[in-house]
Structure 1
Amino acid sequence: MNSSDVRVSVVMPALNAKLTAGEAVVSILEQSEANFEFLILDDGSTDGTTDILDELAAQDPRLRLVKNRSSEGVAAGLNRLAKLARGNYIARMDADDVSHQDRLREQCDLLDRHLNTVLVSCLVICEFAENTDIVARRYYEAIERHRRTLASRGPVEQALVHKNIFHHGEVIFRRAAFDEVGGYAEWMEGVEDYDLWLRMMARGNMRISARELYTRRIYPSSVSMQNRLRAVRLARLARIRNLPMSDAKRELAMQRLAEIL
Structure 2
Amino acid sequence: MPLVSVIMSVFNVKKYEYLLNSVNSILNQTYKNFEFIICDDKSTDNTLQVLKEIAKKDNRIKIISNKQNMGLGASLNHCLKFARGKYIARMDDDDFSKKERLEKEVNFLDKHPEYSFVGTIANVFDKNKIWGTFRLPEKPQKSDFLWNSPFLNPSMMFRADALKAVHGFRVTKETRRAEDYDLFFRLYAKGYKGYNIQEILFNYRIDIENEKHKKYRPMKDRINEAKVRYGGFKALHLGYRSIPYVIKPIIIGLIPAPIFYEIRKKQYR
TM-score, structure 2 as length reference:
0.77
Contact 1:159–1:165 under 8 Å retained in 2:
no
Among the aligned pairs, what percent are the same residue?
31
Contact 1:123–1:213 under 8 Å retained in 2:
yes
Q: What is the identity, as a one-letter code, of the residue corresponding to 1:213?
A: L
What residue number does 1:169 align with? 154
Matched, 1:244 2:231: no
Shift of residue 129, structure 1, vs aligned partner? 5.0
1:61-100 correspondence to structure 2 within 5 Å: 61-100=59-98
Contact 2:109–2:118 under 8 Å retained in 1:
yes
* Partner SS, residue 183 of structure 1: coil
Give the whole-Å Cα distance in 1 for the aligned partners of 2:170 and 2:234: 12
Matched, 1:229 2:215: no
Give the whole-Å Cα distance in 2 for the aligned partners of 1:225 and 1:183: 24
Contact 1:119–1:172 under 8 Å retained in 2:
yes
Give the whole-Å Cα distance in 2 for the aligned partners of 1:169 and 1:44: 21
Any idea what the Cα deviations from partners look like across 1:61-102, whole Å, max 9, x if unmatched?
100000234311001111111111000010000001101101
What residue number does 1:156 align with? 140
Aligned residue-pair number: 231
* Partner SS, residue 108 of structure 2: helix
Match for 1:206 among 175, 190, 194?
Answer: 194
Distance 1:226 1:115, change over 3 A: same
Q: Comparing both structures, which one devotes a greater share of its residues to helix?
A: 1
List runs of 5+ in structure 2 lacking aligned partners: 251-269
What residue number does 2:115 align with? 117
1:245-260 correspondence to structure 2 within 5 Å: none
Match for 1:30 among 28, 31, 45?
Answer: 28
Distance 1:94 1:58, change over 3 A: same
Q: Which moved more, 1:233-242 or 1:201-210?
A: 233-242
Contact 2:121–2:152 under 8 Å retained in 1:
no
Q: What is the identity, as a one-letter code, of the residue corresponding to 2:44?
A: T
Distance 1:174 1:203, change over 3 A: farther
Contact 1:128–1:218 under 8 Å retained in 2:
yes
What residue number does 2:47 align with? 49
Matched, 1:193 2:160: no
Matched, 1:178 2:163: yes
Any idea what the Cα deviations from partners look like across 1:116-137, whole Å, max 9, x if unmatched?
101101011111357xxxxxx8
Distance 1:112 1:223, change over 3 A: farther
Q: What is the identity, as a one-letter code, of the residue corresponding to 1:236?
A: R
What residue number does 1:13 align with? 9
List runs of 5+ in structure 1 lacking aligned partners: 131-136
Give the whole-Å Cα distance in 2 for the aligned partners of 1:223 and 1:113: 42
Give the whole-Å Cα distance in 1 for the aligned partners of 2:4 and 2:166: 19
Any idea what the Cα deviations from partners look like across 1:158-198, whole Å, max 9, x if unmatched?
34431312221111111001101111110121111111111
What residue number does 1:133 align with? none
- Computed over aligned residues only, the root mean square deviation of the Cα atoms, in angstroms, reads 2.6
Give the whole-Å Cα distance in 1 for the aligned partners of 2:231 and 2:87: 24
* Partner SS, residue 6 of structure 2: strand
Distance 1:47 1:223, change over 3 A: farther
* Partner SS, residue 116 of structure 2: strand
Q: Which moved more, 1:51-60 or 1:232-241?
A: 232-241
What residue number does 1:134 align with? none
What residue number does 2:258 align with? none
Any idea what the Cα deviations from partners look like across 1:27-83, whole Å, max 9, x if unmatched?
111111111000000112233322321111122110000023431100111111111
* Partner SS, residue 204 of structure 1: coil
TM-score, structure 1 as length reference:
0.79
